[in-house]
Amino acid sequence: MKGNLIANITGTGLEIGSATVVSNTFTGIGGNAVRITSGAPVKIAGNNFEFNTGTYDVENLILATALPTIDARNNWWGTTEGNVIQTRIFDYGDDYTLGTVLHAPVLAAPATDAPAYVRSVTLAPESPVGIQTVTFDVEFSREMDTMVAPSLAFANEEGWVSQNPMPTARRQFEAVTTPDGRIYTVGGYGGSFLATMEEYDPVSNTWRARQSMPTARVDPAVAVTPNGRILVIGGNLDGVRLNTIEEYDPATDTWRTLSPMPTARQDAGAVTAPNGLIYVIGGTTGDWNHLSNVEVYDPIMDTWQTRSPMPTARGSLGVVLGHNGRIYAIGGNNGVDNEGSMGTVEEYDPATDTWRTRATMPTSRRCLATVTSSNGRIYAVGGLSAQVELLDTLEEYDPVANSWQQLEPLSFPRMAFTAAPAVGSTSFYVIGGYVITDNLAAVEKYTPPISDPELYNASWPQPDHYRSSSDITALIPRGVYHLTVSDAVGTDGIEIAPNSITAFTVDYAGAINDTTPPPMPSIIGCAGTTPDALSAEWSVNDPESAITLYQYAIGTTLDGAEVVNWTNTAATEMSRSGLALSNGQRVYISVRARNEGGLWSQAGSIGVLAGSGECDQNRNNYPIYLPLVLRTQP
Q: What confidence tens digit (pLDDT) does each residue in 396-406 have?
A: 999 999 999 99
Residues 398 and 541 in one domain: no
Whether 624 is covered by a domain: the verdict is no
Taking the whole predicted model, whether its pTM rises above 0.75 is answered as no
H or E element: which one contains 281? strand 278-281
DSSP type of residue 337:
G
Residues 90 and 214 in one domain: no
Whether 15 is covered by a domain: the verdict is yes
Calpha distance 23→34 (Å, rounded):
13
Contact residues for 579 (Cβ-Cβ < 8 A; gap 6+): 531, 532, 533, 534, 554, 563, 564, 610
Residues 344 and 430 in one domain: yes
Per-residue CA distances from 354 to 294, 327, 329 (Å): 11, 11, 13
User: pLDDT at position 157, please?
Assistant: 66
* 3-state SS, residue 87: helix
Neighbours of 407 (CB within 10 A): 16
Q: What total number of domains does the chain contain?
A: 4
Residues 499 and 551 in one domain: no
Residues 435 and 463 in one domain: no
Containing structural domain, residue 543: 522-617
Calpha distance 138→130 (Å, rounded):
21
Whether 629 is covered by a domain: the verdict is no
Contact residues for 113 (Cβ-Cβ < 8 A; gap 6+): 3, 23, 46, 142, 492
Whether 511 is covered by a domain: the verdict is no
pLDDT confidence band for 451 (50 / 70 / 90): low
User: pLDDT at position 619, please?
Assistant: 55
Residues 443 and 552 in one domain: no
pLDDT tens digit sequence for 334-369: 875 435 799 999 999 999 999 999 999 999 999 999
Residues 539 and 500 in one domain: no
pLDDT tens digit sequence for 205-238: 999 999 999 999 999 999 999 999 999 999 999 9
User: pLDDT at position 136, please?
Assistant: 96
Of 538, 536, 589, 593, the C-alpha closest to 564 is: 589
Please report the beta strands in 8-47, taking only residues with DSSP state E, as ranges in sequence order.
14-16, 20-22, 25-27, 34-36, 43-45
User: pLDDT at position 631, please?
Assistant: 38
Calpha distance 415→31 (Å, rounded):
41
Whether 201 is covered by a domain: the verdict is yes
For residues 239, 245, 251 and 252, what is the CA-based torsion angle, rounded to 10 degrees?
Answer: -80
**Contact status, residue 438 vs residue 159, Cβ threshold 8 Å:** no
Q: Average pLDDT for residues 516-543, to the nearest whole number? A: 93
**Long-range contacts of range 238-246, CB-CB < 8 Å, 24 or more positions apart?**
238/193, 240/286, 241/265, 241/266, 241/284, 241/285, 241/286, 242/215, 242/217, 242/266, 244/215, 244/217, 245/297, 246/213, 246/214, 246/215
Q: Average pLDDT for residues 7-32, to the nearest whole number? A: 94
Contact residues for 73 (Cβ-Cβ < 8 A; gap 6+): 45, 102, 103, 104, 105, 106
Residues 370 and 271 in one domain: yes
Residue 630 has pLDDT above 70, yes or no: no
Q: What would you report as the CA-atom Rg of the chain, rounded to the nearest whole angstrom?
A: 31
User: pLDDT at position 510, please?
Assistant: 54
Of 510, 516, 508, 442, the C-alpha closest to 203 is: 510
Lowest average pLDDT, out of 104-108, 410-414, 422-426, 438-442, goes to 422-426
Whether 550 is covered by a domain: the verdict is yes
Residue 625 has pLDDT above 50, yes or no: no
Residue 634 has pLDDT above 70, yes or no: no
- Write down the H helix ranges in 12-132: 82-87
H or E element: which one contains 83? helix 82-87
Residues 391 and 255 in one domain: yes
Residues 174 and 130 in one domain: no
**Contact status, residue 189 vs residue 172, Cβ threshold 8 Å:** yes
Residues 373 and 425 in one domain: yes
CATH number of the domain enclosing 304: 2.120.10.80
* 3-state SS, residue 94: coil
Whether 217 is covered by a domain: the verdict is yes
End position of a domain, from candidates 73, 102, 131: 102
Residues 50 and 139 in one domain: no
For residue 272, what are the β-bridge partners?
278
CATH number of the domain enclosing 471: 2.60.40.1220
Calpha distance 221→263 (Å, rounded):
13
End position of a domain, from candidates 447, 471, 497: 447
Calpha distance 15→17 (Å, rounded):
7
pLDDT confidence band for 600 (50 / 70 / 90): confident
Whether 295 is covered by a domain: the verdict is yes
Average pLDDT, whole number, for the chain?
92
pLDDT tens digit sequence for 269-323: 999 999 999 999 999 997 778 999 999 999 999 999 999 999 999 999 999 999 8
End position of a domain, from candidates 447, 467, 498: 447
pLDDT tens digit sequence for 452-483: 677 888 999 999 999 999 988 877 877 888 89
